[in-house]
């Protein structure tokens, strides 16, 4: 497939690009490099700089013609989303509306979307399954749930097939060492812990001490970024085969 990876210069995106290339798909990366890094782009993938908030940029890239799109571009800080919801409305929700409309206009029929475990909120039961009721506790989580709802309606009305992957905390790096750029100003737990361990950051703040756990602190779930990248390849191949069936 000829695949557009939006946000493909970011932490998860670069691993997804590698997995897509390994699976012998053709890849174009679209990214505004707000947190992504040029140094981790693969020479085998074409890079088109641009911003999902700008309709002209996104229409122009989709005009190249793709069989599928993987949409990873977003602001992703839970705390910041509560301070500046307008930023999250524009980047996450409006940006995605631009993508969906361009995908329809230029006949890109399949999309894999980076959703988040943040759509669930505090679990009512564990392990959480797909039927667990969503109840986001942050504006960030709300934007992801809102986008999932939009995807359902574009599927019904425009036959845009989608998979929404609700990631938990992505961790680790490419075992082959092909992706080495550390995240700039990380907002996720593991890179922050690594910065503290390396002496680049003074401390890690742990919030909450009265959870129903052995030491009162919260329990998190993790997924290795390479497994996550493989899941994108499988999800894309699944929805595209389902469409043809
Ligand atoms: N990292 C995690 O643990 C985690 C967990 C759940 C969900 N997610 C979701 O996965 C996706 C990727 O996360 P990540 O950790 O790789 O983050 P990241 O910040 O490393 O990657 C996001 C990429 O999108 C690009 N981008 C952002 N806004 C853009 C815009 N307006 N136009 C074009 N490009 C833009 C950035 O430059 C960056 O390359 C995000 O949607 C995030 O919400 C991540």
DSSP state, 184?
Answer: S
Say if residues 19 and 1 touch (Cβ distance below 8 Å). no
Residues near ligand 1 (Cβ within 6 A): 7, 9-13, 31-36, 51-53, 72-74, 76, 91, 95, 114, 116, 167, 169-170, 183, 188
Q: Quickly state the pLDDT bin for 191 (edges 50, 70, 90).
A: confident
Domains assigned to the chain: 2-171+219-244 (3.40.50.720)
pLDDT (average), residues 42-67:
98
User: Bigger pLDDT: 73 or 220?
Assistant: 73
Low-confidence winner among 99-113, 147-161, 190-204 (lowest mean pLDDT): 190-204
User: Bigger pLDDT: 126 or 1?
Assistant: 1
pTM for the model = 0.95
For residue 87, the CA-to-ligand 1 centroid distance in Å is 14
pLDDT (average), residues 83-98:
98
Angle at 121 between CA 146 and CA 203, to 5 degrees: 115
Distance of alpha carbon 11 from alpha carbon 53, whole angstroms? 20
Return the pLDDT at 20: 98
User: Bigger pLDDT: 172 or 156?
Assistant: 156
**Omega within 30 of 0 (cis) for the link into 127:** yes
The DSSP element (H or E) to which 27 belongs, if any, is strand 26-31
Distance of alpha carbon 207 from alpha carbon 211, whole angstroms? 10
Res 244 pLDDT > 80? no
pLDDT (average), residues 235-241:
95
Say if residues 109 and 159 touch (Cβ distance below 8 Å). yes
């Amino acid at each position: 497939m000829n695949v557009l990876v939006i946000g493909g210069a970011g932490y998860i995106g670069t691993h997804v690009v590698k997995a897509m290339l390994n699976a012998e798909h053709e890849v174009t990366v679209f990214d505004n490099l707000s947190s992504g890094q040029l140094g981790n782009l693969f020479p085998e993938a074409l890079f088109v700089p641009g911003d999902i908030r700008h309709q002209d940029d996104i229409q122009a890239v989709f005009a190249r013609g793709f069989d599928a799109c993987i949409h990873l571009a977003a602001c992703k800080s839970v705390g910041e989303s509560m301070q500046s919801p307008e930023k999250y409305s524009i980047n996450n929700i409006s940006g995605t509306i631009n993508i969906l409309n361009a995908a329809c206009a230029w006949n890109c029929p399949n999309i894999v979307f980076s959703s988040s475990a943040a759509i669930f909120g505090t679990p009512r039961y564990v392990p959480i399954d797909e039927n667990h009721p969503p109840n986001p506790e942050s504006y960030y989580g709300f934007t992801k749930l809102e986008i999932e709802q939009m995807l359902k309606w574009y599927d019904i009305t425009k036959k845009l097939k989608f998979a929404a992957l609700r990631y938990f905390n992505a961790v680790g790096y490419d075992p082959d060492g092909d992706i080495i750029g550390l995240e700039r100003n990380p907002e996720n737990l593991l890179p922050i812990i690594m910065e503290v361990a390396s002496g680049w950051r003074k401390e890690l703040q742990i919030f909450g001490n009265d959870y129903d756990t052995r030491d009162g602190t919260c329990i998190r779930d993790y997924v290795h970024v390479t497994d996550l990248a493989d899941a994108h390849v499988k999800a894309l191949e699944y929805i595209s085969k389902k469409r043809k069936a």
